[in-house]
Structure 1
C-alpha cells in the first residue's frame, strides 16, 4: 500500500519531499517493507495526496490506510522480541517527555526575566513549542503502553488506542501513533514527524505552496485538528544531523513558518493542600524552587505499609487538586517539587495517585512521578512496583523497575546484598530480574564483582528467568570478567 501511495506523489515536493531529503535511509526502509512508518508520516503523505486529488476520495483512502497501518503495527509488534523493543522505545520517549518538561521550566524562568519585547516573543514561541513537544511525547508514551498492554493480553486485534494530550483532551484519531523503529529515537528532544495537522499559524497563510521558512522550527509538533490541510514547507538545510538513524521528517535546528500551538484548557484551580512538615528537595534543579511553596510530608521508609483508607484517599485527592492548581497558574517548579514529595509516599498510594492524576488530565505528571520514584531505595522501589502490578498497572510497575535499575553496578550490588541479608528474597529476584533484562551482559557482570559468591548465582538465576539466551550471554560475560568458571 505504501508503495502505491508513494507512486502517486512527487518525491521532491510536499511532505514527501521533506521526508526523502531529511531521512532517505528511513524512507527507503519503509519503502522496502523493513519498517512500519509512524502514523504521523502516513497521515502527512495522505495530506500531500489531498493536495493533488479530490479531498473526498482521500478521506476514504485515509480510513483504509488507518486499518492497514494498525494491522501492520500489530504484526510488527508480534515478532520475537517485539515487546522488549516497545519497552526500550518507551524508555526513550519518557526521557524525551522529561526533557520537554524541564525545558518548559527553564524557558518559563527565562521569560520572567526577559529584557526586551523581542526576546520575550522569541521565548514565548520556544515555550509554545516545548509544550507541544511534551504533549506529543505524552501521546506516544500512551500509545506505546497500549501496544504493550495488547501484547500482554495476547490480543490479535488492532491496537486499541486513543491518544490524549497532557490535559486529558483526546487528540485526533491516530495522533501520536508510531511504529516499532528508530523513528522514536533522538539525541535529545522529541523527534518531530510532520503531521497532517499543525498548530495554528499566527500569520496569514501564504499563497505559495512552498513558503520560505521564517522562524526556527520546533523539535516536535503535536497534531491538532484542522479544517484544511496546510501547505508543506520547503526543505531547509540542516545545521547538523540527528544522532539516530531513521528520522524521516525530523526537524532539527531547521527553519519553518512561525507558528504557535493552539491553547488548551487549563485544569480548574483547586484548593491548596495544607503542608505537613515541609521537606527540602535535593538536587541542583530545585535551587530556589522551594520558596513560597507548600510541600507534602515525606514518609519515613521504616513506616509500616498502609492500606488506602479514607484518610489516604482524601490526602491523594487534595494533593492532585493542588498540583492541578499549580499547573493552571504556570508554577512549574513548584509543581515539580510537589511531585518529588508524592514520589516518597507509601507504595500503597501509588495506584490511587495514578488514577487521580489521569482523571485530572495530569497523565504527564504521573510519568514524572514515576521517574522520581525510580530513585527510591530498592526495597521501596520493589514495593511500589508490586502495588502497581497488583492494581492492574503492570506496564507502570515494569517501568518503575526498569528506571530504578539504571544505577551504577555498585549500587545495585549493595542493594541486593542488603535485601538478601534481610531475607527479602522475592525483592532480590524482582530487582535483579529487571536489571539483567535491561542492562548489557557486560554491565550486569560488573554488578557481581563486590561479592561474587553471593551475586553470581543470583544474577544467573535472574537471567535464566528472562531467557536461555540471556542466561548464556551473562554467563559468558561473567567468565570473561573472571567471576565464573
Structure 2
C-alpha cells in the first residue's frame, strides 16, 4: 500500500506521531529503544501503514515529559482512535485483531503464573517488577483490542455479552508493540536456557507473528538499560515507583527522510481535506505543522509548492508570525539555512506588529544562534513600520545588545530613519 492510498485519518495520525518523534532524541528514552530494535516497524507507523498500541504512544509522550492528561495526549488519543477505527475496517482486520487479543490473553495468563513463581524466588525483585508490568500492559491491550473488535460488530443484541471496556491509561508504558515496534526485550532467562531458541515471553513480545517469534533467540532477552533523561523519569513497578520529573528534550537533528515523509503525508492530507471542503481541519493541520521541528518546514514548503498549494504555505507563514519569540526565531533561522531567504524575510516582516518585548526576545534568539543577517532583517522591517519611539523602547530592553544592531538596520532603511532613531535614542537616554 502506498501513502497515497491511505485514508486521511491514518495520514493525519502518522503526521502527528512523526511530529512527536521529531521532538525527541532518537538515541534516548523509549524512542531510542524503538529506533534501535525495530527501525522498519517504527517507519511503518510514521508512514501510516500500521497503528501502534496506545501504550507505545504513551511511551513517546513520557519521553517528552508530556502529562497523560495534557492537551497533546488528548489530541493524540483522538487521532489514534480515528486511525485505528479506519485501519480496523480493512479486509481481514477483524481476524487479525482477534488473534492478537488471543495472544495477549495468553501472555496475561503467563505473566500471572510468572508473578506467583517470582514472588517466592529470592533475589528476583527486578524480574518480578517486569512481570507485573507485563501483566498490567497485557490486560490493558486485551481491553484495547476488545474495544476495537466491539466497534466492528455494530450494535449489541440485548442478550449479547457486554464488550470489553476501553483501557485506562497505563501508568508506566513499556516499549512493547504491534507487529511493528516489537522492540523491547523481555526479562533475562535462566542461564540453563540461555542458548535455547524459543518464543520470547512477555506482553512486549506478544504482538509478534508466531513464525517470526519462533526465530528470536532467547539469549536476546535481556533486561535493557532503563531509559533515562530526555523526558519524564520512568514510573511504575519496574522503576520502583519513581515519580515523574519533567526535563527539557534537546532539539533533534533533522532527519531528511523523516522530514520528507512528514511533508508528503501533510500534503496528501491537505489535498484530501480541501477536496472534501473541510477547510477548518486543513487550517488546523497547517497549525500543527508549526509544532514540529523547524527544520522540517523548508521541506514542507517545497512539497506544498510542488503540489500547487502555495496559498497554504502563505497561510502557514502568517500563522508562524504569531509563534513565541524563540520559536519564531528558530523557524526564521531554519528557512534561512535552507536557502529560502524570501520566506524568512516575509515571516519576519509579518512579525513586526508584535509587542516590543517579544521582538526583543526574537532578536536575542536569532543573534544567539548566529543569524545576524536575519536579526538585522527583522529590525529593518520593524523600523519601516514602527515609530522611532517604539525603536527606542526596544533598545531600552537591552541597550548593550540591541542599540548597535538597531542603528545598523536603520542605515539600511534610509539616512532619515537613522537620524530619527538617533534622536529618539538620545531623548530616551539610551544613546
TM-score tier by shorter-chain length is 0.3 to 0.5
Greater helix content: 2
- TM-score scaled by structure 2? 0.40
